[in-house]
Structure 1
Amino acid sequence: MRLLSRRLGGRRGFTLVFIFALLGMVLCAGRSRAGENQTNLQLDVVINSVPARTIGSFVRFDDGRIGGTLEELESLGLQPGPSHRPGEIIALDDIPTLRYRYEERTQRIFIAVDEAGRKPQLFDAGGSSGNLPKARADPGAVLNYDLLSSTSNAATPRLIGLGNTSLLLDARAFSPYGTAEQSAIVRTGPQQPAQATRLNSSFQYSDPGRMISYVAGDTINGGLAWSRPVRIGGLQAQRDFTLRPDLITAPLATIGGSAAVPSTVDVYVNNIKTFSQDVASGPFSVNNVPLISGAGTTQLVVRDSAGHEIQTSAPFYATSSLLAPGLSSWSVEGGLPRLSYGSSSDVYVGSPVGSATLRRGIYDGLTAEAHVEGGAGVINGGIGGTFRTGTIGVAAVALAGSGSGTNRGLQSYASYETRLFGVSISASSQHTLGTYDDLASATAKLQNIVTLNGGLQNLNGLFNYLPGSISSLSNSFAYVTGIYGSARAPVALDRITFSAPMPFDPRASLSASLVGLRDDAGNRSNIVTASYSRSLPYNASIFSTVFHDFGTKKNTGIFAGLSIPFGDSASITTGVSSGRTGTTGSVDAVKSLGPEPGSYGWRVHDSEGASSYREATASYRSSYGTIQAGASQAGAGSVGSLELRGSITTMGGGVFLSNWIDDSFAVVATGVPDVEVLSENRRAGVTDSRGMLLIPTLRSYQKNKIAIDPTNLPVDDEAATTHDIVAPADRAGSLIRFDVRKETTAALVTFIGPDNRVLPAGAVGHMTGGVEFVVGYDGQAYIKGLSSLNEAEIEFADARCRATFAFIPRPGEQVRIPGVVCQ
């Protein structure tokens, strides 16, 4: 043992001596290199016989070798290798793929290097992202309303009497801390008291930086193509890509090549130019090429100054169902299930449920996904993935399982979409095995308790609650009839769709689909549909559709028609349909209502045959809302209707009437009436008597350019700025203030010299108070901050003079002071 220890100790000592010797050699070599004399050179660079058009910083060692820092060589497009440190001086002789020649007389260096030694030039075809202005939500509130009233004679000879009236209300209040929303519908009718039905109550806060939205209140849980969402009242947090509209979530293409000489690179996607860039000689790469969904071809064109072109093409298949690598989409929520939404039986059930969903891009061609949910006596979970099959299509597969008491079940899902030989094909198949349950079917069982127990507890007349002690009895009741008769996921749901242009007629297209459905109650539907359409001269078109159901309800139908547009937004459509109830012919003439105030629209419809129906409506959109009136007749009965739709908005101390506000808006405040306001360089209106204007159609979380036209301002008014870029938050508003103020201490002064000639343009002057001004044409200068008596000193062409003048303000007028002598 002692002998072995000595031997090991000897080996260890030898190893340490060797390591120290090696370190010493390295340090000595480093000192030797550091001690070499170096001469700094600034050289004109020529790479592969092409001038780089730049001056490079190099050093020359005593032995004649030339080198440069890692950063300098990379800036010249060279790639020394990965084993070098920042700031290190690298001898060009040590780069295996590089040769050079130094021409001392002309102070140039000629470098020859192959493609492996060149650093690719990187370009981004997707444009810059993350440069959006910070989203704003100034305090305010919006009340959208839609009032619909109808009258009818109910197919009797009586005079038209009062029918039903409904009022849809959508209110929201917002601030930088979030948006509170409440919607409801109020109904009334003959001999029927007014009844209010609450729809949604929620509070939402969004974090654009992290792309996360938080919701408290009514919401719908997240899901995937193979899951079924449900309504709940509770809490939700989710990834929200709409907070970053500049972010492209799908994987984008990267294409590249090499230019022998400085050239122009053009990128085409399906023969449409999407990117152009001048490149230096050497390799290059274009990242984030935006693609069109579906199959297509990218083309790269490299063109030099002599017009020589090199073209390369590559097929692709793009889809929004894939996520870019490293990008995640998720949703987590929990709360009480909500049943019978929008009806008088609307109720929250005291049986908490929760769910979580995740999708993540693994790499360009694969996105993984998972979903889990539980509560109301069921637990369900599954995993899946979406993957690209080369350049011809995208496939998705998933498998989910459930457990509910002693019941177990599985659900499989598969889909594929592709485009082959000009034919677009989309297919999907979903099947269940055993007793498969999810939150949708489990909460549908709870509807029995609402119907059979009458155990609702009413809170303030708007919120109905069913205690959990009652809801736990749901398993002892069978499914109720109606829409809840087959609440479980379909036992089988298979779909396939084909669409393609006609090979012998490029103006015509044909599509066909097959849907096979078998629900949990044993009902079957096997529906085949085929459609044909063809464009005609003058933008007219013909179309036809035929379907047949081979399932339980066997039915066949056909519809064919002709559409002829006239004008910019009007069209006439005629058609004939035939089905189990008979044959009906129809004529429909429509003029669409435009989005701008002052537009109008109308519709006239007539159907005759197996069923007769006639209708006529007219609508008008103003700056304060939209009105629509109509009348219809079916058989011997007739109905008249009147609809008013708009919004009431308050912000910045003002109240505004406008059209329905779906998204974001802005209130412009100038403090001056009759100022023209522009939105994206289009006229949005003029300010009212308070100097305010509501712009109801902005894009949330995107750049919106708002400007005012200063030509309508009074001559003594001055705006600090005439435009602003704003990005309102979702369903919120921004208050844009243009600082328009009175300028009553300014005048347009004309300066002349002792010879009675105007001073030259460009002369610079200073007031005694320190205000600087510049003399323009005709000796005129616009000067602010004037007092009753003023003194100015002006310099021009190596000369200097002084001038004194009086000033008397005249509100509402441009004060002009002519003939001020400067001497």
Structure 2
Amino acid sequence: MSRWARARSEWWSLLLAAPLAAVGQTSAEDLQRTLERLAAERAAAAPRFGETLLLGLRVNGQAQPQTVRAVRVPEGLALPQTLWQELQLRPPSTPPRMIDNELFLVLSDAPGALVRWRIEELSQTLELEAPPQAFGDQKIELDRMATQVTLPAQLGLFTNYDLQWQRRVGGEGSLDGLAELGLLTGRGDLNHLMLYRSSRGWTRLDTRWTWDRPEQLATLRLGDVISDAGSWGRALRMGGVQWATDFSLRPGFLSFPLPTLKGEASLPSTVDVFVNNSQRLQGRVQPGPFDISDLPLVTGQGEIRTVVKDLLGREQVVVQPYYISPSLLKPGLTAYSVELGWVRENYGTQSNRYGQGLTQLTWRRGINSGFTAEGRGELAADQQTVGASGLWLLQDWGTLNLSAAGSRSRDAQARSGWLGTLGVERQGFGWSGAVEVRRASPGFVQRGQPVSPRWSGSATVGTQWQGWGLGAGLVYQGTLQRPSPEGFINPGTRLWTFNAGRGLGAWGYVGLSMLKAGHGGGTAVSVFWTLPIGDHQSVSTSWQGQRGGGQPAQDQWQLQFQNNPPPGEGLGYQALAESGGRRQLQAQWQDRHVALSGGIARAQGRTDLRAGIGGGLAWLDGSVYAGRRVDGGFAVVEVADQPNVRVTHDNQVVARTDRSGRAFLPTLRGYQVNRVGVIADDLPLDADIESLDLQVTPAARRASLIRFPIGVSRTATFTLVDEQGHPVPAGADLRPVGQMRSFPVGLDGRAFVAGLGAAPGPHRLDVRWPGGGCEASIELPKADRELPDLGRVTCKALAPPPSSTRSDP
């Protein structure tokens, strides 16, 4: 019993005894006996410490299914620790008690206790009143799971080709092309890319071995690689080795920090989350505080509205602005790139020219949700450059980027120097923009730009106004501080841009773009209008004008009609006419094996012809397949030896099976779910179909074999007779050997059987009836007949005959 209940009992005793003494209706002995009786009742009603109670439970007015075992203790009421965990209540400040070898936590009677309690004597129910702070925190995590590869890799080879032939009528022609060779294995892939020019022959572009490590979110590359530029460096082509973080190996993985939504509920409640007025989440939470992390949000500026509604219909609405930058890293997350090798020179013109050795390291780490640090270094025999960068989140407004780097060189004109960079970026509803300014000292050097301008920078801004999308930009680069190693001095440049566009609904889209070069440069203006007139067709017209820059004024009108080819097989074409007399007509045709293109152009009295062919060849599982260009990984689909069956990839028809029931898919997305299916209308009626749609997840740049669970089930009818030519008894049980399914024999021995294999036979049949049985064998005709009639089939008696009906397994 609580203190308040004991005090109330004592007051009632005095109120009952006082009138008796005052009116003299009883003697002093009677009064004494009355007081003793009341004291005894009060003692009986007082709590007996150590007493065990079995009680119902109600929390914040809501009945709970548990039956509670409670024990009275001097500090209050002890409840099992397991019950506190089930109710997700925070442990109390009072020390726990061990009762009957079980740990109990105590509900205190103290005035400052967070959880208030009382026992409703009539129903023997424990009633708890607990605010949200009394419950433990709940965390609703929506983080993406690691990608699980479900499609095993096979050994595969492929080659891509793209040839373009051009010839001017009355002149000479030329043939150019690209060729790519690839070897795909379960331990990585080898890629070799070549360029062909009829005037120069073959030139090697890239040769690279790539090995992905999804469990480490990293990729190892050997051969020709492209280095990570970091915040202030230059991306370089190198020959050597690269070990770098690759977050794309886990699609859906969010490397940047997201805001965490916080709320609380006193009762079981529903939670609805709206991002920019679009619902993104609906769920249920138990009483107490809750956090929602890794909610899918749009990068840039936005607003989150959280609505919590409890069982009584009460709502809490919390509005939270946010800003997300994909350039930041989650707290504790690290990204890196290490390159060791030699700088590639004269790429595209020479096959194997490499310069000085170079080591580069770029390292980034998320310090907290609002700050990411970066360190970068370039180490070579004649030059060393190191620097540090920081990216800060400016609340819900944008990001700030600061970089500083220093260099040392053997160059007599650039012994040492420094570089500083300041940048601000914002993406928002009202407007978006970015500004970056770079300042370099005369002696600063870095790979890819041995001589830097003193000042350089850029600025862009974009907004929406009256249905128009508006954008403007400025790119500035000052004069180089000293001649380049080749002896050239590049003048400073300033380039202004402006663009505007607006959708016109059914009338298409209209746009304007302007470009102005500083330091006496010219101005170019373009106005265009595009009108879609079908799923794949469009008409567009444009005007382009150029003024200044020491050149005569130019004006050009253009009209174009375009019909894009469908994603699968089909024809596309384009017709173009310009005010200067230029005319052009070109077409593209593609099927599942090859893509062809051709065109003719007429300008200034000259006629040019062009033709092209592109596609890919692949080898897998002992066969060669022709198809379109292999992009990433490829697969061969098997459909139970069924020819001419359409195969879909993400609901688009992309291939047909050949005579052996195989189709070539030249493109599969690595580490993502790919939906591959077949069209049921192309399958025979006797096809045994388990699934028409498969969801497969291959690794990137892998060769795979996809087998559809589709078989052929043939049927047949016949008349079943015994060795004397008499019909088998009606109702006999007929079952093909090796199957679980059985068929009844009809009158006059007429029988029907299904589920037979595609092979002609023989197919053994087991026939049983009460008191007898026999065995038969049938062969199906080789002709493709859906329900052949096999005529009379003799069923030979079993020896010895069975004495009872066979039981089913």
TM-score band w.r.t. shorter chain: 0.7 to 0.9
Matched, 1:270 2:276: yes
- One-letter identity of the residue aligned with 1:700: G
Structure 2 distance, partners of 1:94, 1:781, is: 80
CA-to-aligned-CA distance 1:473-521 (integer Å, 9 cap, x gap): xxxxxxxxxxxxxx5333321111111111xx1x112221122111423
Structure 2 distance, partners of 1:70, 1:594, is: 69
1:358 shift after superposition: 0.9
Q: Which of 216, 224, 239 pairs up with 1:218?
A: 224
Deviation larger for 96-105 or 199-208? 96-105
Map of 1:281-430 to 2, 5 A cutoff? Answer: 281-304=287-310, 309-344=315-350, 347-349=353-355, 351-405=356-410, 407-418=415-426, 422-430=430-438
Matched, 1:659 2:628: yes
Matched, 1:668 2:637: yes
Structure 1 distance, partners of 2:396, 2:231, is: 23
Q: Which of 577, 582, 604 pairs up with 2:575?
A: 604
Matched, 1:734 2:704: yes
Structure 2 distance, partners of 1:257, 1:711, is: 53
Structure 2 distance, partners of 1:56, 1:588, is: 81
Structure 1 distance, partners of 2:124, 2:475, is: 77
Map of 1:757-776 to 2, 5 A cutoff? Answer: none
Map of 1:204-283 to 2, 5 A cutoff? Answer: 204-283=210-289
Structure 1 distance, partners of 2:566, 2:53, is: 68
Matched, 1:536 2:504: yes
1:415 shift after superposition: 1.0
Matched, 1:515 2:475: yes
Q: Which of 125, 134, 137 pairs up with 1:117?
A: 134
Q: SS at 2:327's partner residue?
A: coil
- One-letter identity of the residue aligned with 1:47: V
Map of 1:130-145 to 2, 5 A cutoff? Answer: 130=146, 132-134=148-150, 136-145=152-161
1:357 shift after superposition: 0.6
Q: Which residue of 2 aligns with 1:129?
A: 145
1:694 shift after superposition: 1.4
1:256 shift after superposition: 2.4
Q: Which residue of 1 aligns with 2:7?
A: none
Q: SS at 2:272's partner residue?
A: strand
CA-to-aligned-CA distance 1:397-432 (integer Å, 9 cap, x gap): 111111102511111111111257822221111121
Q: Which residue of 2 aligns with 1:92?
A: 107
Q: 1:343 to 1:268 in 2, by over 3 A?
A: same
Q: Which of 511, 517, 523 pairs up with 1:549?
A: 517
Q: Which of 765, 774, 777 pairs up with 1:788?
A: 765
Q: SS at 1:440's partner residue?
A: coil
Q: Which residue of 1 aligns with 2:32?
A: none
Structure 2 distance, partners of 1:784, 1:67, is: 71
- One-letter identity of the residue aligned with 1:91: V
Conserved 8 A contact 1:570-1:589: no
Q: Which of 604, 613, 635 pairs up with 2:604?
A: 635
Structure 1 distance, partners of 2:183, 2:736, is: 53
1:701 shift after superposition: 0.6
Matched, 1:440 2:448: yes
Q: Which of 176, 186, 203 pairs up with 2:196?
A: 186
1:306 shift after superposition: 6.6
Q: Which residue of 2 aligns with 1:456?
A: none
Structure 2 distance, partners of 1:501, 1:493, is: 28
Deviation larger for 631-640 or 200-209? 631-640
Q: Which residue of 1 aligns with 2:40?
A: none
Structure 1 distance, partners of 2:115, 2:322, is: 36
Structure 2 distance, partners of 1:671, 1:741, is: 6
Structure 2 distance, partners of 1:726, 1:594, is: 28
Conserved 8 A contact 1:150-1:165: yes
Conserved 8 A contact 1:563-1:574: yes
Give the superposed CA RMSD: 3.9
Q: SS at 2:506's partner residue?
A: helix
Structure 2 distance, partners of 1:341, 1:575, is: 36
Structure 1 distance, partners of 2:673, 2:429, is: 41
Structure 1 distance, partners of 2:649, 2:426, is: 41
Matched, 1:170 2:170: no
- One-letter identity of the residue aligned with 1:660: R
Q: Which residue of 2 aligns with 1:150?
A: 166
Conserved 8 A contact 1:749-1:781: no
Conserved 8 A contact 1:676-1:687: yes
Q: 1:82 to 1:723 in 2, by over 3 A?
A: farther
Q: Which residue of 2 aligns with 1:33?
A: none
- One-letter identity of the residue aligned with 2:392: F
- One-letter identity of the residue aligned with 1:703: V
CA-to-aligned-CA distance 1:429-473 (integer Å, 9 cap, x gap): 1121131111214xxxxxxxxxxxxxxxxxxxxxxxxxxxxxxxx
Structure 2 distance, partners of 1:775, 1:327, is: 65
Q: 1:88 to 1:608 in 2, by over 3 A?
A: farther
Structure 2 distance, partners of 1:519, 1:355, is: 28
Conserved 8 A contact 2:204-2:351: no
Map of 1:682-701 to 2, 5 A cutoff? Answer: 682-701=652-671
Task: State percent identity of aligned pairs.
Answer: 24
Q: Which residue of 1 aligns with 2:63?
A: 51
CA-to-aligned-CA distance 1:643-690 (integer Å, 9 cap, x gap): 111111111222221111222222112341234434345544432111
CA-to-aligned-CA distance 1:98-117 (integer Å, 9 cap, x gap): 12334577564322112221
1:241 shift after superposition: 0.8
1:325 shift after superposition: 1.3
TM superposition score normalised by structure 2: 0.78
1:295 shift after superposition: 1.1
Q: 1:676 to 1:720 in 2, by over 3 A?
A: same
- One-letter identity of the residue aligned with 1:286: I
Q: SS at 1:182's partner residue?
A: strand
Q: SS at 1:242's partner residue?
A: helix
Q: Which residue of 2 aligns with 1:74?
A: 85
- One-letter identity of the residue aligned with 1:352: G
Q: Which of 607, 610, 615 pairs up with 1:646?
A: 615
Structure 1 distance, partners of 2:329, 2:67, is: 42
CA-to-aligned-CA distance 1:551-598 (integer Å, 9 cap, x gap): 3x5222222222222212332222222224422222242435345222
Q: Which residue of 2 aligns with 1:560?
A: 527
Q: 1:743 to 1:187 in 2, by over 3 A?
A: same
Q: SS at 1:235's partner residue?
A: strand
Q: SS at 1:788's partner residue?
A: strand
Q: SS at 2:595's partner residue?
A: strand
Q: SS at 1:313's partner residue?
A: strand
- One-letter identity of the residue aligned with 1:90: L
1:719 shift after superposition: 6.2
Q: Which residue of 2 aligns with 1:450?
A: none
Unaligned runs of 5+ in 1: 1-35, 442-486, 751-755, 760-764, 793-800
Conserved 8 A contact 1:414-1:428: yes
Conserved 8 A contact 2:716-2:752: no
Structure 2 distance, partners of 1:652, 1:40, is: 73
Whichever of the two has the greater Rg, that structure is 2
1:258 shift after superposition: 2.5
Conserved 8 A contact 2:642-2:659: yes
Structure 1 distance, partners of 2:390, 2:338, is: 19
Structure 2 distance, partners of 1:710, 1:244, is: 33
Q: SS at 1:558's partner residue?
A: strand
Conserved 8 A contact 2:114-2:134: yes
Q: Number of residue pairs matched?
A: 703
Matched, 1:489 2:458: no
Conserved 8 A contact 1:56-1:72: no
